Amino acid sequence: MKTISLRACRSVVLLMLPALLVAQTAEQPLVNKIGTSGFVDLYYGINFNRPISRTNMLHVFDQRSDEIRLSLAELVVEQQPSPVGFRLDVGFGPTNDAVHYQDPSSTTNFLQQAYFSAVVPVGSGITVDIGKFVTHMGYELIESKDNWNYSRSFLFGYAIPFFHVGARASYQIVDGMKFTGYLYNGWDRGVTDNNSAKTLGATVNINATPSTGIILNWIGGPELADGSDELHVFDLIVTSTLSDQISVGMNADYGFSESSIGTSIWKGVALYGRVSLADNLFLAARGEYFMDLNGVRTGVPQDAKELTLTLEHKFAGALLTRIEFRRDVCTTPFFDDNHAQNTFVLGTIVSF
């Protein structure tokens, strides 16, 4: 009986190997070389209102004024799937704390991302990720080095989530079009979820032209502890390279939640532009309008506008410095009894 069991197991393994290795060749090993990267992000900011709290209201990450402050230190360890892989993003600093504001006591919050990947050999290949990863929503990213501006938009901070725990699967439908589906525990939920229901999401990436890309995102599901509500956000991203020197972008969001108290709506749009002034010297601008009609995102029913100008210089590919001026205006006196606040920030990011 023992011999028969061993033979059966060996037969099963032999049958499975072709499916796992169908996309491989002698030059493509099962395990790719593991890559590492990271950065340290610091800033000094000034709020010209001189608030007693020394806090920049409605700024999700560059919140502090009149002090030199670490924003985020991050290390990334990654192996591209071929057919299996993984990614691990370890982060420390106030930015990482802000991302995990709903679960501040979790001992795993330093893991910004931690997931396994596999390529299933169906058609052109289905890429499956399982674990914790940053949200598929929005134009901007948690890492300031990957954005055009140093500060983040209202849409990034208040219209969409930061991260998820769950699974996603992506498939290249045709050349220039990819679909991704998501199954999440919920919004910004780390170790534990607050209900047994699941949140769903979807992304369609379209390369409209060689220089223009369109991304359509959706997320929806219950978020209250008893699962009685429904929360949905629709997200549109358009990017275009007009020339070697000029790039533009647009992000629009429409979100709503339905619960026993009724329907709450938030929506907004942000426009982006970036121009290359010289080698390694860039000027970026962002203009934005955000409406929190029922106050469910910012805490107060209000309209908020902001204009941001950012001058960026890169040195030796590793040191990035940004000088930024931003003006925020709200229909309510949200900024220490003021309707507006002007801020200045000097950000420095060293990458490796």
* CATH number of the domain where residue 137 is located: 2.40.160.10
- Does residue 8 belong to any structural domain of this protein? no
Q: How far apart are CA 282 and CA 305, in angstroms?
A: 24
- DSSP state letters, 169-234: EEEEEETTEEEEEEEES-SS--S--SSS--EEEEEEEEEEETTEEEEEEEEEE--STTS--EEEEE
Domain count, the chain: 1
What residues of the chain score a pLDDT lower than 70? 1-32, 104-105, 190-191
Residue 6 burial (CB < 10 Å; 0-12/13-18/19+)? Answer: exposed
- Does residue 3 belong to any structural domain of this protein? no
Q: How far apart are CA 179 and CA 236, in angstroms?
A: 15
* pLDDT computed for residue 33 by the predictor: 83
- Does residue 346 belong to any structural domain of this protein? no
Q: How far apart are CA 343 and CA 38, in angstroms?
A: 28
Any bridge partners for residue 73, and if so which? 40, 92
Of 28, 38, 136, give the one whose Cα is nearest residue 81.
28
- Does residue 332 belong to any structural domain of this protein? no
Other Cβ atoms less than 10 A from the Cβ of 284: the count is 20
Enclosing domain of residue 143? 71-307
- Does residue 326 belong to any structural domain of this protein? no
Q: Is the peptide bond before 83 cis (omega within 30 degrees of 0)?
A: yes
Q: Are 171 and 123 in contact (CB under 8 A)?
A: yes
* pLDDT computed for residue 108 by the predictor: 80
- Does residue 128 belong to any structural domain of this protein? yes
Long-range contacts of 234-243 (CB under 8 A, 24+ apart): 235/137, 235/138, 235/159, 235/160, 237/138, 237/139, 237/213, 238/212, 238/213, 238/214, 239/212, 239/213, 240/211, 240/212, 240/213, 241/211, 241/212, 242/211
- Does residue 36 belong to any structural domain of this protein? no
- Does residue 130 belong to any structural domain of this protein? yes
